Structure 1
Amino acid sequence: MVDIEQINPRNEAALKAWWEVGCAATAYRPGKPWPLWEQSRRALPAPNPERAVTLLAAIDGREMVGAGLLVRPLRENFHTATAFAYTRPDRTREGTGRRLVRELEVIAAGDGRTTIQSEAYLPPGGSGAAEAFATAMAYEVASRESIKELAVSDYRARREALLAEAAAADGYRIITFDTVCPEDHLESFGRLLGMLMSEVPLGDLDLEASEWTPDRIRAAEQRQVGIGRHVQTSMAIAPDGSVAGVSDVRIDDTDHEHGQVGITIVDPAHRGHRLGLALKLATHDLVLAAHPSLVSVDTSNAEVNTWMNAVNEALGYRTIETLLELQKRL
């Protein structure tokens, strides 16, 4: 008899067992689909001002055979939650995944969440068991994204040819920093962050715009510093001193071989100056200077975002998976 229990992320033994299930369940995927243990050990128990995290375990006797994760936003989108379920590969097709998903939905509903979102990963252009499971659980595809991976060796080979193309227009300048935004750009940075939900293609995902005050940005930065994550950031500063665009690559103290693109956005009023490419080059150069042992970087973009996909492909990114953004209204 498999029991579903909530686990305390500060219980390191239970957290390690939970992590091992997720690691085994995602091992078939390409790239780096699961964080290193030291990353999870540090990040999951740490206070998070942006979201509440609930961990579930499916336990058979003394063995953990399934793991669940529920993430609830705490600043906006109070009607939503994101749910993930993982089953140990040797224990699939026993109903454990279904039970985990249903329990995650119960917890979300009890917190007043009415829209549950999740993800399924497929080979490029293919299908898989995750998609069939999502359909069986009544989740619909709200958006499709391409997950891309960049080999650093490919980036180095392409970089010189892209530099001239990426030269910012007269009057713009690119600045960079590690995680903590300079005080004189903080308010303008928050204004740009507030545009994300309206400017990034979301498909049918039921998400609302956010407001990023200086205090909120500083709290988010403090968490990143606290868990050992470096957000290597580039900003385009317009002639009037405002933040015209921003991009970042994130890398953890515990893993200097793999990075992940966080956000890239250019203010619509400042598009047409190749700022996106300039920002991307600046962040990749910054993270490589700080972490010369970097091997790869991954990112994801909506398939309909042809401009950003073209920029990433020019840098050397190649599609390794298709991501289905899933949604279900309770």
Structure 2
Amino acid sequence: MSVIAPVDVHDDTALKAWYAVEAASMAFDRPYASHRTFEALANSVRTPHDHGRRVLLAAKEQGETIGIAELDLPEEERSHVVELGIHVLPVHRWRGVGTELWRAADDVRRTSGRTLTTAEVTIPPKSSLAFARALGFKSVRREDHLAADLPLPHKPFKVLGYELLMWEDRTPEELLAQFVGLRNQMGKEMPGKTEQDMVAHTADRIRSAEKSTARSYDRITAAAREILTGELVGYSVIFLAHGSDEAIQDDTFVKSAHRGHKLGLALKVATLAAVQRDHPERTSIHTWTDPSNDVMQRINRQFGFRKIELMHEVQRTDRW
């Protein structure tokens, strides 16, 4: 039987052993997966966060780390939630290690007074979703994981009546209030969004996220502004992990009243052009899109994205 205990995140040897299990597990099951860097992990667990805390668990046998769990415990309006991830080395699977880690993680959930556990599982492998369902989780949302090789041939273009604004990392102060509004509107309109996912963005929260993200990632943002009114009506964001050759296409959103003008395409092209101009070392780009989001799926196909995985967000509710 494994011994499961919290990881001292300031112990380099212990944290690297934890990270090695995550990397080996993902590489075995998901050859095209986008994996965070060790720097990103270390920064996320070693730096105090304004809006929650993170707990790492390790399962060991004879001193070897063979399985891991990660628990993200947000605060404020999501203080009832635990976000969970579990990985086991391939050679140690099907021996109950994952279930032991789940029980240890659930003990943390109970002692922290939380009632909802969420996780993301991918297909392939099919066993990940089966494992979650066996523990009482239900799938509540799906997203296609898409990827494309860089460089891509698309060139920036203008959209009549709009201008595109670009910035890196910190949102310009004069645009912050409108950008907060865009982020909140995106949350309301995102296909497949669950009630538990809803987080009210504020200027302070965005500034805090920018500060913490900048330790491990460069961020490139494009925003569309209507020339007549000066209103921000859409945005697109790409993250670039330090020390990686990948780009991560995050949100792309256009307000409903301004759709039909190819603004979403223009925003994605603008951020992509900045990546290819300023970060030529990036060789691939990843994004996640709801299968029912026909417009964004069509745009992604235009870019040459291909589907490599299906991600399920799963949830389990426990009542006191």
Q: With structure 1 as the length reference, what TM-score do the two structures score?
A: 0.91
How is 1:268-283 mapped onto 2 (pairs within 5 angstroms)?
268-283=256-271
How is 1:1-330 mapped onto 2 (pairs within 5 angstroms)?
1-28=1-28, 29-123=30-124, 128-153=126-151, 155-156=152-153, 159-160=154-155, 167-170=158-161, 172-202=162-192, 205-225=194-214, 227-239=215-227, 240-255=229-244, 257-330=245-318
Q: Which residue type is aligned with residue 298 of structure 1?
A: H
**Post-superposition offset of 1:252:** 1.8
Q: Which residue type is aligned with residue 239 of structure 2?
A: R
Separation in structure 2 between the aligned mates of residue 278 and residue 147 of structure 1, nearest angstrom: 21
What SS does the aligned partner of 1:169 have?
coil
Separation in structure 1 between the aligned mates of residue 44 and residue 147 of structure 2, nearest angstrom: 23
**Post-superposition offset of 1:75:** 4.2
> How many aligned positions are there?
316
Structure 2 vs 1, CA of residues 298 and 208 (structure 1 numbering), >3 Å: closer, same or farther?
closer
Separation in structure 1 between the aligned mates of residue 290 and residue 139 of structure 2, nearest angstrom: 13
**Post-superposition offset of 1:50:** 3.8
Q: With structure 2 as the length reference, what TM-score do the two structures score?
A: 0.93
What SS does the aligned partner of 2:249 have?
strand
Separation in structure 2 between the aligned mates of residue 186 and residue 86 of structure 1, nearest angstrom: 38
Q: Which residue type is aligned with residue 319 of structure 1?
A: K
Listed one character per residue, the Cα deviations across residues 199-222 of structure 1 (whole Å, up to 9, x for unaligned) are 11125x342532222222111111
Separation in structure 2 between the aligned mates of residue 43 and residue 229 of structure 1, nearest angstrom: 11
> Quick check: 2:159–2:263 contact (8 Å CA) kept in 1?
yes
Separation in structure 2 between the aligned mates of residue 111 and residue 199 of structure 1, nearest angstrom: 31
What SS does the aligned partner of 1:32 have?
coil
Structure 2 vs 1, CA of residues 236 and 41 (structure 1 numbering), >3 Å: closer, same or farther?
same
After superposing on structure 2, the runs of 4+ consecutive aligned residues of structure 1 that deviate more than 6 Å are: none
Listed one character per residue, the Cα deviations across residues 270-301 of structure 1 (whole Å, up to 9, x for unaligned) are 22221111110011111222201110010111
Separation in structure 1 between the aligned mates of residue 115 and residue 17 of structure 2, nearest angstrom: 30
What SS does the aligned partner of 2:196 have?
coil
Separation in structure 1 between the aligned mates of residue 4 and residue 195 of structure 2, nearest angstrom: 29
Q: Which residue type is aligned with residue 291 of structure 1?
A: H
Separation in structure 1 between the aligned mates of residue 278 and residue 84 of structure 2, nearest angstrom: 34
Query: Unpaired segments of 5 or more residues in structure 1?
Result: none
Separation in structure 2 between the aligned mates of residue 94 and residue 206 of structure 1, nearest angstrom: 36
> Quick check: 2:236–2:267 contact (8 Å CA) kept in 1?
yes
What SS does the aligned partner of 2:95 have?
coil
Structure 2 vs 1, CA of residues 287 and 232 (structure 1 numbering), >3 Å: closer, same or farther?
same
> Quick check: 1:68–1:84 contact (8 Å CA) kept in 2?
yes
Structure 2 vs 1, CA of residues 280 and 50 (structure 1 numbering), >3 Å: closer, same or farther?
farther
Query: Unpaired segments of 5 or more residues in structure 2?
Result: none
